[in-house]
Structure 1
Amino acid sequence: MRHYWNGMGMDGWGYTAAGLTMLVLMVLVAAVAIALFRRSSDVRRDRAPAAEQLLAERFARGEIDDEEYRRRLVVLQDVKPSGKDR
């Protein structure tokens, strides 16, 4: 029976392969985390145009007057991210 006390029989190439595999896995996990973060922030950004559209529809139906429409539109545009941060 042969005993491998030197890293279970791994030589230099075995350590290199193990290290590269670990590096690839870490990069993959980081890429997935970044993609999920960007997707969630894009979803939050898309809410403001939907709110502006809803406000315009209410104005078109006559539910709110011109003054109310403009006041609420200014509030929505102040809250909405500018997109220049990207």
Structure 2
Amino acid sequence: MFWYGHDVSGWGWFAMSASMIVFWALIIAVGVLLLRAVNRPHEHTDTAATPQTPEQILAERFARGEIDEEEYRRRLNALHAGPLTKP
């Protein structure tokens, strides 16, 4: 039934097994990458579209610890005092 040269040798079985593993690994990798691409959060948010007020920026700097409470209150009072007028 199997003549010489028509059967699959040991290397043929190895090549078929390896190609099957590579095939399924590629299919799984593509599926995982698609799921990750669909479920990732959007990088562009609406906060960039609406500018922050000076009070919000000052509050964020205070929350991050860039300025202390005294400087925060001084700058907040300066913001609420209104624009400076030149004599």
- What TM-score, normalized by structure 1, do the two folds share? 0.46
Larger Cα Rg: Structure 1 or Structure 2?
2
RCO comparison, higher one (Cα < 8 Å, 6+): 1
